[in-house]
Amino acid sequence: MSSPAPALALPPGSCDCHAHVLGPYARFPLAAQRAYSPPEAPLESYLRMLAGSGLARGVLVHPSAYGLDCSALRAALRANPERLRGVAVIDATVSDEDLDQMHGEGVRAARFTETSSTAGQRFPGSVGLDQLPLLAPRLRRRGWHAQLWAPASRLAAELPALLRLELPLVIDHLGSPATRRGPLDPAFQALRVALRSGQVWIKLTVQRASSDFPHYADVRALFDALLAERTDRLLWGSDWPFLNMAECTPTVPQLLGTFFSWVSDAATRQAILADNPRALFGFGPPIIEASAS
């Protein structure tokens, strides 16, 4: 379902840096082993969401419900080579030929997950941090980065070794912090220090770190703390189509409205929404613009 256009003047080239496409399942069936069975969210619906929200570009993240089969992601990228980039899920068995093909299609990163499902185990179909050192040289040769989804405590423990891989590291969902501990929590402080290095980027998908729908006041201090570090290493993402969020499901214009209310400076909005994703994902100048009318 498309979203209504927001009453916001988004910077040219604004990018949603975290979303998923799923289906149609007759063409792209889900993996047999998966933690959830989401409704279809095909490319056409996703593109309508971007246009209806005033977003010019997007980054698609391969969902674990597909296992290691990135066919739906890759088809979406091939159909929209200037507008979309992708984050794949791969392990060390992937061939160099396949990596080169994915790069040509617009994949610019691989995702590594240490977040557990409700059963207390890593999501079926995800790839853990243990695979990253094995893949790092091949990612580095192609100019890719590693996207990390893990609790802040796990990231804080792993970051010293991960930084030595000499790859850009993109951390999902505000770093998945222990929200109630606030911005002075040692694990969150470690993420802030890493952010200062310039090698780490953090995605501002606030609703995934919050338990305060729809205002997200419980993560405002964390958001502001990241903003105070390096605005050139922050990215905004919606996480559309909001998998498994039930009654806490937002809309993309609502999330953009929250971002605008929390970030009043136009230059900072420009950096986070447009300039940073262009630099990280290798988009060209903003020549394809979505209409918000």
- Measured CA to CA, the distance from residue 65 to residue 22 in angstroms comes to 9
pLDDT at residue 2 in the model: 40
Residue 28 above 50 pLDDT?
yes
At 49 the three-state DSSP class reads helix
Dump pLDDT digits (tens) for 181-192: 999 999 999 999
Beta bridge partners of 169: 146, 200
Contact 66, 125 (CB under 8 A): yes
Q: How does DSSP classify residue 212?
A: S
% the chain with pLDDT above 90: 89
pLDDT band per the 50, 70, 90 thresholds, residue 285:
confident
pLDDT band per the 50, 70, 90 thresholds, residue 118:
low
Half-sphere exposure of 157 (CA within 13 A, CB side): 6
pLDDT at residue 101 in the model: 98
Contact 234, 220 (CB under 8 A): no
Q: What is the mean pLDDT of residues 83-94?
A: 98
pLDDT at residue 288 in the model: 42
Domain definitions of the chain by residue range:
15-281
- Measured CA to CA, the distance from residue 271 to residue 268 in angstroms comes to 5
What pTM value is reported for the model? Answer: 0.93
pLDDT at residue 125 in the model: 86
SS3 percent helix, strand, coil of the chain, rounded to 5, is: 40, 15, 45
Dump pLDDT digits (tens) for 157-197: 999 999 999 999 999 999 999 999 999 999 999 999 999 99
Residue 6 above 50 pLDDT?
no
Which strands form 200-203's sheet, in the order they lie side by side? 15-19, 57-61, 84-88, 107-113, 145-149, 169-171, 200-203, 234-235
Q: What is the mean pLDDT of residues 214-241?
A: 98
At CA 59, angle to CA 258 and CA 166, rounded to 5?
105
Dump pLDDT digits (tens) for 243-267: 999 999 999 999 999 999 999 999 9
In this structure, whether the domain defined by 15-281 belongs to CATH 3.40.605.10 is answered with: no
Q: Say which residue, 227 or 284, is predicted with more confidence.
A: 227
- Measured CA to CA, the distance from residue 221 to residue 109 in angstroms comes to 29
